Amino acid sequence: MEITENIRKNLLEYQKSEATGAEIYRRISGIVKDENDKATLLKIASEEDKHAAIWKRYTRENISYSKWNVLFYTLLAKLFGYTFAIKLMEKGENTTIDNYTKDPEFIKAVPESARITEEEEAHEDALIGMLDEEKLKYMGSIVLGLNDALVEISGSLAGFTFAMGSNRLISMAGLITGISATLSMASSEYLSNRSEGSSNPLKSSIYTGFAYLIAVVLMILPFLLLPDQMHYQALFLTMLIVVGIIFVFNFYLSVAKDYDFKTRFLEMAAISLGVAALSFFIGIAVKNFLGVEL
């Protein structure tokens, strides 16, 4: 079958995609410590090169990889772990595969596309089987730290906002509460994991405490940066930060652990914002009940 201009355009896109994928797998393999994972990534990179060569037989052009995409995914792997980076990239590759497997003209013009589809699906199975990253082993501890911080500290800050009415006082109370809660959460996680016979309870407690502390600092930041009397504006920014943290964290989980993003995001956001709203009204009630003016 004759290669139409539209099919050739798609072939050039797929060729570049395969070349880019191969280079990304090679770069990520350089930062992976596990030798089995490294070997698997290099094998997949080699197969991606073969796929690019098949497309090249039709395009008859030398296509270089996308430097931007290679830099982007390599940086993602370094910052957030190779599991997240690879799975995010695989989602993009699946979209590409869907494009040409649903085009009968393309399959007829390029018979090899069926075999490439099978190999690409095998890639995904191999990746899922090999990914055993330490960060994901302690994801439960991170979830615990973030969940507790978002609920407890956002609620506390909302209550402090009306009860105190001063960003400096709110920041001070929030930091004292947050640091104390961080130490409490980390120690509780340590004792819990130790009693359960965990292999590394100290590392679990560190992940929990670190996640909690980072969330605390981000939530208190508006109260530290805005003028003293802009406490309601600071609280509004804090709630935006809470939603932002929930969004980013659940997007990460939806990619790395294949969780349902929408359900988890809405659930966490509803709980955190609901507790904050309730705490705000509790602050009003307590202030009026005690007759305190600050």
Whether the predicted pLDDT of 292 surpasses 60? no
5-132: CATH number: 1.20.1260
Q: What is the mean pLDDT of the chain?
A: 80
CB-count exposure of residue 33 (10 Å: 0-12, 13-18, 19+): exposed
Q: Which residue has the higher pLDDT, 262 or 126?
A: 262
CB-count exposure of residue 260 (10 Å: 0-12, 13-18, 19+): exposed
pLDDT computed for residue 26 by the predictor = 92
Q: Give the CA distances from residue 242 to residues 147, 169, 221, in Å, rounded to whole numbers and listed in that order.
A: 10, 20, 12
Question: What is the Cα–Cα distance from 66 to 17, expressed in whole angstroms?
Answer: 8
What confidence tens digit (pLDDT) does each residue in 210-260 have? 888 888 899 899 998 988 888 888 888 988 898 888 888 888 878 877 778
Q: Where are the domains of the chain?
A: 5-132, 138-290
What confidence tens digit (pLDDT) does each residue in 82-115 have? 888 888 887 766 666 555 666 667 777 777 777 7
pLDDT computed for residue 134 by the predictor = 63
